[in-house]
Structure 1
Amino acid sequence: MSSLLYDAPGPRAKRRNALFTVLFLAVLVAVLWWVYKSLDEKGQLEWVKWEPFFSGSEAWTTYILPGLKNTLIAAALSMLLALPLGAVFGIARLSDHTWIRIPAGAIVEFFRAIPVLILMIFGVALYSEYTDVSSDDRPLYAVVTGLVLYNASVLAEIVRAGILSLPKGQTEAAQAIGLRKTQTMTSILLPQAVTAMLPAIVSQLVVIVKDTALGGAVLTFPDLIAAVSPMSSYYGANTIASFTVVAVIFVAINFTLTSFASWLERRLRRSKKSTGAVVGVEAIEDLETVGHAPPEPGGGIKE
C-alpha cells in the first residue's frame, strides 16, 4: 500500500530488504557468539560468579538494595526540585518584561552548557568550603545540586517549546475574553502543553535517574554503581555479573517510568476528547418532546 510519504517496495526492493535482514541477523549472531566465547574463556559465565544474586539475600541486602535506595533518593529529590524550577524558568523566558526574560535566559543557557559532572564536582567543593554539611552527606548534596541545575535548565527549554507549540489563537481567544496573562498561562496554555511536553519531560527524568551513576563513579556517592566494586571484590571478581544485575535494575526503573508516562499521556489525551458534560435520559426525552410538539395557533410550542 502506498501513501504520500511511503511507496510500497517492489520485487527488487523486497529481495534487497530480505538480504539486508539476513546479513544483519548473521552479523548479530556472530557478535553475540564472540561475546559469549570471550566471557566463557575468562570464566565470567561460571555459576559461582552469578550464584550470590540467585541463591541468597546477602548480596541484595548488603550491597544492591542500599545502593538502590540512595539512587532513588537522589533521583527523586532531583526530580522534585528540577520540575518546578524548570517550569518557572521556562515561563520566565516567555515574559514580556525584559528584566525577567533576559536573566532567566542567561541562567538557562549557562547551566545547559556545563556538563553535569562538572556541576557535581563544583557542588562538592561548594559544600566543603562554605557550608557545614558533613562529609558523609556531601556526595548526595552535590549529586542533587548538579542534577537540579542542569536538568532544570533543560526542562525550562522543554516547557518553553511546549507552550510556543500551541496555536496563537489560544492566547488571542483568552485575551479576547479578558483574561490576564497569568490566568492565560495557568488556565489555558499550560494544561494543553502538558500533554505535548510529557514525552520529552519523561525522557529527561530518565536522564536524571541514569546520571545519578556519575556520583557513584566519581564522587563516592554510595549508589548502585558504587556498590559494584566492593560487591565484585567480595564475591571473587564477578564484575560482569555485578554490572549486569545493576544494568537490569536501571532498565527496570526506566522502563517503569516510561510506561507510566505513556499510560498518563493516553489518559490525558482521552480526557481532552470529551467535553465533560453529562446529559441525562430525562433531558434527552424532554428535548425530543419539545422538538416534535405541534405548534400553537399563535406560533408557539406546546409544553
Structure 2
Amino acid sequence: MGVEPWRWDEDVWRGHVEHVRAGRSLRPARWPGGAKVAVALSFDSDHETLPLRDGDVLPGKLAQGEYGARVGVPRVLRLLERYGAPASFFVPAVSALLHDGEVKSYVDAGHEVGLHGWIHERNTALTPAEERDLAFRAADVLERLAGTRPVGIRTPSWDFSAHTLAITRELGLRYDSSLMADDDCYELVENGEPTGVVELPVEWIRDDAPYFVMDRFTSSRPYTPPRGVLSIWQDEFDLAYAEGGMFQLTMHPHIIGHRSRIAVLTELLDHISGHEGVWFATHAQIVDHVVEAAEA
C-alpha cells in the first residue's frame, strides 16, 4: 500500500496536479462570419461496445446498444440535416466494424469522425503499451472506413490515464475532448511544457448519459425528465451566447435517439437557431479556428 495522500511531500502532490494541466486559453476574440457563439454538437456512437467492454455478451444489453445504430443514428442524421448542423461523431473501432457503412454515412453527410477507443476500454485499467496499441489500431480502422485519419480523440468514458496525452501526441492528433478545466478551448500542458494539443472541453452537465441511463441491476436510474434536461442545456447555451463563447454538447445515439429525447434535442436546436450569429461547427473546425486566431 502506498503512502497516504495526506503524508505526501509537496513535490509529490504538486507533480500529480501539474502532470496534465490547462495552459493558455484559446477562446478567440471573434468567431467566423461575425458569429456570437460556436455550437459544437457531438455524438459518441458506442452502440454494443459498452457491454462488450465488460464481457457482457447476453442479448439484453447488446440490444440496447444496437438501438443506437439501428434507430438512433438515422434519427440524429436526419435532425442534423434539417438544421444544417455539422457535428462530430466519436466512434469506437469495434462499433465502426460492427455497423458497415455507418462511418461513411457520417462523412458523406459532412460530419467529423473522431477516435473513441477500440472497444470503449477503460484506459486507466490498461498498461501504457496496451493503451497505445488500441489507440493506434483504432486510428487505422477509422482512417480506412472514413477515408481520412482522425485529428481528434475523446477517450472512452473520458477516462484519461497518466499516459493518454503522450499517446495522443505520438498519434499526431490536433485535439482532445475528454477534460473539463474550462468552458472554452485551451492548450494542454504536460509537466509544464505547452504541447500544442488543444483541449475542447466536455462536462457531465452537457452529456445525456447522466440524466437518462437506466440499469435495472444498479443504482443508475433516470432522475430528470427530458424537458428538465432541455432547461439545463438551454441555460448552458444562453450564457455561452451572452459570453461569446462555445456551447459543447455530448450525446449518444442509443440514448438521445429515443422519441421523447430526440424531441428535446429538436426543441434545443430550435432555441439555438432562433438566435442570430450561431456558428454550428465540428470539433475539428472549432479547433482549427481557435488555433488560427491564436497564431494571428
TM-score by length of 1: 0.21
Which protein has greater RCO, CA pairs closer than 8 Å, 6+ apart?
2
Indicate the structure with greater strand content: 2
Quick check: which one's helix share is greater? 1
